[in-house]
Amino acid sequence: MSHAHTHDHHEHGHSHAPEVSTQNERVVLTALVLTAGYMLVEVAGGLLSGSLALLADAGHMLTDAAALALAWAGFRIGRRAADARRTFGYMRMEVLAGLINALTLFALVAWILFEAIQRLRHPVEVLSGPMLVVAVIGLLVNIAVFAILHRGDRDHVNIRGAMLHVIGDMLGSVAAIAAAVTIRITGWMPIDPILSVLICLLILRAAWALLRSTFHILMEGAPPDIDIERLQAHLLEQVPGVAHVQHVHVWSITSGRVLATLELGLDAGTDQRQVVPAVKQALADRFGIGHTTVEVLFDPPRACALRAAAGPETEG
């Protein structure tokens, strides 16, 4: 399994991390090469034909290529263990790359929208022939990528997501073909900037989701599906001997790699050698937290230093 974090606390053996096979890695790499190659074709075709829609879609392909590159790097870097200097390994690279990708996309969308407005006011001649050729190539590339992904591990969350995405891309290619045919038959040029604006909306949606999730991880936010109060209640109910749970911090190194620290108070006469592993196991099973650090308190709990620094004394 893909856990880059190789030191041997037993709780690291959780199994919901996707299986990394060389098959998946090859599938992703092939899709990446095809996508990036088509992106270059689209840039060339866009410049040659004057089609803004093709350039906008090249931007969209840039996102797709970046996402595939990240998935591929995730497979490769995931194998690279943490070392003494980077005790969390290299998993955050993925998050930083995602943030840069999102910001790049916003800049790209701004440029396309600006250009589209210009062109709606002063239509630019688009050569429908090259545009049609490139759009048809795009449809073929998307069909090929879909077929390749289909051969990969379809239970893998990234591969399934990528397949759904490629279906959307096929529809985009069909729209581009329709626009090229429209220009060919009617000579109605505004269809090109209009289509580019529609592509921008798709890019914006992806960019916004990416920005939000990377920003949240960089803010050390708890994963959206983990509620701290429910986590505390779960431990109190499920682990015998736990008297109270406080000072809980939960965060992700990268999407799906969750860590926690917390303090426990125990019932009198409880053996911490049993409770501490039970707490770690309960968090791994119920919340998918693969790495928990537990401190057992024998004195009354004190406020979390992070909260106390920010305002009045409250119990973390």
Q: Residue 95 corresponds to which tokens in the numbers above?
A: 């998050």
Are the beta carbons of 258 and 290 closer than 8 angstroms? Answer: yes
Name the residue type at position 125.
E
Given the complex with Zn ion, which of 16 and 240 has the nearer CB atom? 16
Q: Residue 289 corresponds to which tokens in the numbers above?
A: 């937290």
Indicate the residue whose CB is closest to Zn ion. 304
Specify burial of residue 300 (Cβ count, 10 A radius: 0-12, 13-18, 19+).
exposed
Handedness of CA 211, 204, 32, 39 (dihedral sign): negative
Q: Residue 280 corresponds to which tokens in the numbers above?
A: 């770690």
Beta strand ranges found along the chain (DSSP E): 242-254, 257-266, 289-297
Given the complex with Zn ion, which of 69 and 124 has the nearer CB atom? 69
Q: Which residue from 42, 57, 94, 169 is in contact with Zn ion, where contact means CB under 5 A? A: 169
Given the complex with Zn ion, which of 124 and 143 has the nearer CB atom? 143
Given the complex with Zn ion, which of 301 and 316 has the nearer CB atom? 316
Q: Is 39 in the site for Zn ion (CB under 5 A)?
A: no
Where in 240-279 is the site for Zn ion (CB under 5 A)?
247
Q: Which residue from 57, 64, 192, 263 is in contact with Zn ion, where contact means CB under 5 A? A: 64
Are the beta carbons of 170 and 143 closer than 8 angstroms? Answer: yes
Task: Report how far residue 112's alpha carbon sits from residue 199's, in angstroms, rounded to the nearest whole number.
Answer: 10
Q: How far is the CB of 9 from Zn ion (least distance, A)?
A: 6
Size of the site for Zn ion (CB under 5 A): 6
Task: Report how far residue 290's alpha carbon sits from residue 8's, in angstroms, rounded to the nearest whole number.
Answer: 12
Taking each helix axis from N to C end, the angle separating 157-186 and 52-77, rounded to the nearest 10 degrees, works out to 170
Candidate ranges 61-69, 127-135, 209-217, 233-241; the one touching Zn ion (CB under 5 A): 61-69
Candidate ranges 63-71, 140-148, 233-241, 252-260; the one touching Zn ion (CB under 5 A): 63-71
Given the complex with Zn ion, which of 100 and 305 has the nearer CB atom? 305
Q: How far is the CB of 295 from Zn ion (least distance, A)?
A: 10
Q: How far is the CB of 67 from Zn ion (least distance, A)?
A: 8
Q: How far is the CB of 185 from Zn ion (least distance, A)?
A: 27
Helix, strand, or coil here: 83?
A: coil
Q: Is 304 in the site for Zn ion (CB under 5 A)?
A: yes
Name the residue type at position 11.
E
Given the complex with Zn ion, which of 156 and 280 has the nearer CB atom? 280
Given the complex with Zn ion, which of 56 and 275 has the nearer CB atom? 56
Where in 94-133 is the site for Zn ion (CB under 5 A)?
none
Candidate ranges 33-41, 153-161, 239-247, 281-289; the one touching Zn ion (CB under 5 A): 239-247
HEC secondary structure over 173-216 = HHHHHHHHHHHHHHCCCCHHHHHHHHHHHHHHHHHHHHHHHHHH
Candidate ranges 174-182, 189-197, 214-222, 297-305; the one touching Zn ion (CB under 5 A): 297-305
Task: Report how far residue 195's alpha carbon sits from residue 171's, in angstroms, rounded to the nearest whole number.
Answer: 12
Are the beta carbons of 222 and 167 closer than 8 angstroms? Answer: no
Residues at the contact surface with Zn ion, assessed by CB under 5 A: 64, 169, 247, 304, 306, 316
